[in-house]
A and B are shown apart, each in its own frame.
Chain A
Amino acid sequence: QKEVEQDPGPLSVPEGAIVSLNCTYSNSAFQYFMWYRQYSRKGPELLMYTYSSGNKEDGRFTAQVDKSSKYISLFIRDSQPSDSATYLCAMSASGLGAQKLVFGQGTRLTINP
């Protein structure tokens, strides 16, 4: 069993829709929960992160962490075609710059105009 599981999609939605992306994990030691966005032919870029449990909002993006269920989510409101990318969840026990970030498989998202 992988430490982090993420549905690879692909996911295709119309512009303006609310998008929900999810990951589950098995390692209770994870404390930092990150969402990266990766455009084609680019490296991943950090979108937002949450430390421990709870919600965090940044503009159209909301990250949620439920440690009791070992489940994290990223919601995108009013989705735009420019949001089309692969979204990767990543986790670590000791920080954003930790020795080992554990990534999910990535979900490929397409927003259709």
Chain B
Amino acid sequence: ETGVTQSPTHLIKTRGQQVTLRCSSQSGHNTVSWYQQALGQGPQFIFQYYREEENGRGNFPPRFSGLQFPNYSSELNVNALELDDSALYLCASTRGGAEETQYFGPGTRLLVL
């Protein structure tokens, strides 16, 4: 086990709704990244948070937003859901540093109808 947990495991929403996904990292992991993995594809970087500040963003629109909390938990919020947002959402945490491994959670599978 990686020590990274995510909730919920599965979620069904309808187009236009908003969703919040949660991640709990290992103690001491002050860096968390979120990835979107569409079916049959590799994970795509959404953004990274370091000490509660956004620290880099991939090619995702502003309706994807996040928060990181001092207790090593974090959230991914998606507004105005679209059908193409259906995917597995992964969070990954690390202590930081070039040689420090990122540990992935099991993901939340989101289906948008």
Contact = CB atoms under 8 A, between A and B. Distances in A.
Contacts of B100: 95-97
A94 interface: yes
Interface stretch (B13-21, B61-69, B79-87, B91-99): B91-99
A44 B91 CA distance: 10
B56 A100 contact: yes
Contacts of B58: 100
Interface residues of A, number: 25
Interface size class of B (residues with CB under 8 A): 20 to 34
Contact of A97 (B41, B42, B90, B101): B101
Max chain A CB contacts within 10 Å: which of B31, B42, B96?
A: B42
Contacts, number: 72
Given A99-B45, A101-B35, A106-B42, 15 more contacts: A4-B42, A42-B107, A43-B2, A43-B92, A43-B105, A45-B2, A46-B102, A94-B98, A97-B96, A97-B97, A99-B55, A100-B45, A101-B102, A102-B45, A105-B40
B4 interface: yes
Interface string A82-110: 00000010100011111111111110000
Nearest to A89: B42
19 contacts: A6-B42, A8-B40, A43-B4, A43-B90, A45-B2, A45-B104, A88-B42, A96-B94, A96-B102, A99-B56, A100-B45, A100-B56, A101-B35, A101-B45, A102-B45, A103-B44, A104-B42, A105-B41, A106-B41
Contacts of A96: 94, 98-102
A30 interface: no
